Structure 1
Amino acid sequence: MNEVIGDNSEVILHFDLKLEDGSAADSTRVNNKPAKMVMGDGSLTPNFEACLRGLTIGEKASFTLAANDAFGMPNPDNIYHVDRTKFAADMDLQEGMIMGFAQPDGSELPGIIRNVEGLSVTVDFNHPLAGQTVIFDVEIINVVNAK
């Protein structure tokens, strides 16, 4: 009997995340390493999880999620102007570059360099796919439901 993905399922899946123009945003197939996640563990947003609910082993599906249902809209409060002196003097800052910024709790938050002008560096901490409609293609490899 095929296990059906439900609230506490452990799911192993391949996924491809694409933008509307067909360009690849993320894929587990690049390194042929399927993703492993547990429904409700926070690794996927509720909208992505809703796409998976009810799927079974071996099933393939494709979902188109509007920006609000995927990574949300860009928030202007997540864009910061950082003094150039906060970066290493020899660092070659380029627009579009993604770099990690240390947080007080020791974690790293990725930021995208949007602009470098004189001593002002504009850093965008919104998700790189914020504001984008995404196409979520999945192939369910295995489903384990807690007994």
Structure 2
Amino acid sequence: MSEQVIGPKSEVLFHYSIKLEDGSAADSTKVNNKPAKLFMGDGSLTENFESCLLGLKEGDNKSFKLQPEDAFGMPNPDNIYYLDRTKFGSETPAEVGSIIAFTQPDGTELPGLIREVAGDSVTVDFNHPLAGQVVTFEVDILEVHS
């Protein structure tokens, strides 16, 4: 059986860990032992991230550092909203540092981080929590299907 190598159309099952520049772990699929599945070229990952995976095969482990624009992007000021405090209740209090899921008009949920509470105004940041950060991805390739 020939080893499957990750190509531009491969389906990949892999574990990943994301580390910040200070070495702290931001996310890992190993915590719940639920590996991620990726269809190369489906747009769920940036082109540079995918290019780091090309050529890897089952059993490979690799670590690579990504700049913000290649990982989760830069924070966008348009993703910061000022909401009225009356929109928050006892179940979802407006507390700095809280992450609250807001239901969008299409029914999907979008997490927002409460950055500031001033009087009746609550500042909510809908940027990805890792936006603007240099991150290191560590991947363990479990399966590759062409």
Partner of residue 76, structure 2: 75
Q: Following the alignment from structure 1 to structure 2, what is the Cα–Cα distance between the partners of residues 137 and 89?
A: 39
Partner of residue 50, structure 2: 49
- Deviation per CA, 1:1-44: give whole Å up to 9, x if none: 11010111110101000101011111011011111121122332
What is the CA-CA distance between 1:97 and the residue it aligns to?
Answer: 1.0
Partner of residue 113, structure 1: 114
3-state DSSP of counterpart to 1:99: strand
| 2:85–2:94 CA contact under 8 A, matched in 1 | no
What is the CA-CA distance between 1:89 and the residue it aligns to?
Answer: 5.1
Q: Following the alignment from structure 1 to structure 2, what is the Cα–Cα distance between the partners of residues 123 and 71?
A: 18
Q: Following the alignment from structure 1 to structure 2, what is the Cα–Cα distance between the partners of residues 90 and 30?
A: 28
Q: Which runs of 5+ in 2 are unaligned?
A: none
Partner of residue 30, structure 1: 31
What is the CA-CA distance between 1:63 and the residue it aligns to?
Answer: 0.4
RMSD of equivalent CA atoms: 1.2
- Bigger mean CA offset, 85-94 vs 75-84: 85-94
Matched length: 145
- Bigger mean CA offset, 65-74 vs 132-141: 65-74
Q: Which runs of 5+ in 1 are unaligned?
A: none
3-state DSSP of counterpart to 1:106: coil
- Bigger mean CA offset, 90-99 vs 32-41: 90-99
* CA pair 129-45 structure 1, distance change in 2 beyond 3 A: same
Structure-2-length-normalised TM-score? 0.94
Q: Following the alignment from structure 2 to structure 1, what is the Cα–Cα distance between the partners of residues 10 and 91?
A: 48
Q: Following the alignment from structure 2 to structure 1, what is the Cα–Cα distance between the partners of residues 20 and 91?
A: 35
